[in-house]
Amino acid sequence: MRLGIISALAEEQMGLIDAMQHVEKQVHGMREYTAGKLWDIDAVCVLSRIGKVAAAMTASILVEKFRVTHIVFTGVAGSGDVGVRVGDIVVAESLVQHDMDASPLFPRFEIPLTGQSHIASDRDLTRRLALAAREFLQEEPDTPQLHRGLIASGDQFIKHRAQLGALKDALPDLLAVEMEGAAVAQVCFELGIPFGVIRTISDNANEDAPVDFMEFVHKVASRYAFGVLQNFCRT
Ligand code: SAH
């Protein structure tokens, strides 16, 4: 396995690059790719920046130029369900682009000419991510929970109750909202690369989200990413 690890923001990946050995850095297309040994795994870490196009480009380059065989996206997300709380972890079983709507030519959410709306993550990677997350959360105060299910991505920071409500009406199983995962899913689906997405909940995707998000990202996000990936790479 050669694992590509993508995050949108520096805080979501801090510490991982410091933990790498035999590091080689390369800048390509305005991003810095760091290849090396991460615990037991041959890995390439990169920050995609925010949004679906940025994430899709990064995933494509990881595969085509850096020859990764698997991809994991680790980052934060807004909650998409009342049962999913700040500090919980959501591991995606499938991902949908919530702002994809080419109806009436194609059903809402379907990616035109692929026949896909919800793209399933790789079962084995997802199982391993869930195990790593569960092990990490056991040591955390306030018993945060692990959830597995649907994550929706779009080029919007969801910060109004009504926005989330409308999404939830269309996607009742929704657990989390973010801005990159489903784009990585599409690229990996089309290139035949197994992938997984893991998100720590930073906010409730409502009017408090901008403040909650910033606080969480600064204080908690990197510790979670480091802890979970360490467990993942050692199993
Ligand atoms: N204002 C922020 C922008 C953050 S975008 C800034 O200046 O940095 C939010 C990032 O975290 C995205 O990468 C997205 O994947 C994730 N995210 C967290 N909460 C989100 C929410 N409520 N809606 C959409 N994406 C969210």
The full DSSP string for 102-131 is -TTTS-TT-BTTTTBSSEEPPHHHHHHHHH
Which residue's C-alpha comes closest to atom 26 of ligand 1?
A: 178
The total number of structural domains that make up the chain: 1
CATH number, domain with residue 202: 3.40.50.1580
For the chain, the C-alpha Rg in angstroms (whole number) is 17
Residue 60, pLDDT > 90, answer: yes
Residue 143 Rama label (left phi>0; alpha psi -120 to 50; beta):
left
Rounded to the nearest whole angstrom, what is the distance from the C-alpha of residue 120 to the centroid of ligand 1?
22
pLDDT digits (tens, 9 = 90+) for 150-172: 999 999 999 999 999 999 999 99
User: On the CB side of 34, how many CA atoms lie within 13 Å of its CA?
Assistant: 20
Residue 54, pLDDT > 80, answer: yes
pLDDT digits (tens, 9 = 90+) for 92-141: 999 999 999 999 999 999 999 999 999 999 999 999 999 999 999 999 99
Residue 36, pLDDT > 80, answer: yes
Number of helices (H) and strands (E) in the chain: give both, helices first: 7, 10
Domain hosting 110: range is: 2-234
For ligand 1, say whether the CB of 77 is within 6 Å of any of its atoms. Answer: yes
Residue 186 is which amino acid? Q
Rounded to the nearest whole angstrom, what is the distance from the C-alpha of residue 113 to the centroid of ligand 1?
29
Phi and psi at residue 191, to the nearest 5°: -95, -5
Catalytic member of 12, 88, 110, 178 = 12
For ligand 1, say whether the CB of 180 is within 6 Å of any of its atoms. Answer: yes
98 alpha carbon, distance to own chain's centre: 15
**Catalytic annotation present for 140:** no
Residue 235, pLDDT > 80, answer: no
Quote the strand ranges of 39-88, DSSP E. Answer: 41-47, 70-79
- Positive or negative CA dihedral for 132, 167, 13, 185? positive
| Strand pairing category for 146-153 and 119-120 | unpaired
For ligand 1, say whether the CB of 177 is within 6 Å of any of its atoms. Answer: yes
Residue 48 Rama label (left phi>0; alpha psi -120 to 50; beta):
alpha
For ligand 1, say whether the CB of 76 is within 6 Å of any of its atoms. Answer: yes
Return the structure tokens found at 99: 């702002």
Dihedral of the CA atoms 57, 63, 66, 67 (nearest 10)?
180
**Catalytic annotation present for 142:** no
Question: Average pLDDT of the chain?
Answer: 97
Dihedral of the CA atoms 119, 125, 128, 133 (nearest 10)?
-50
**Residue count (the chain):** 235
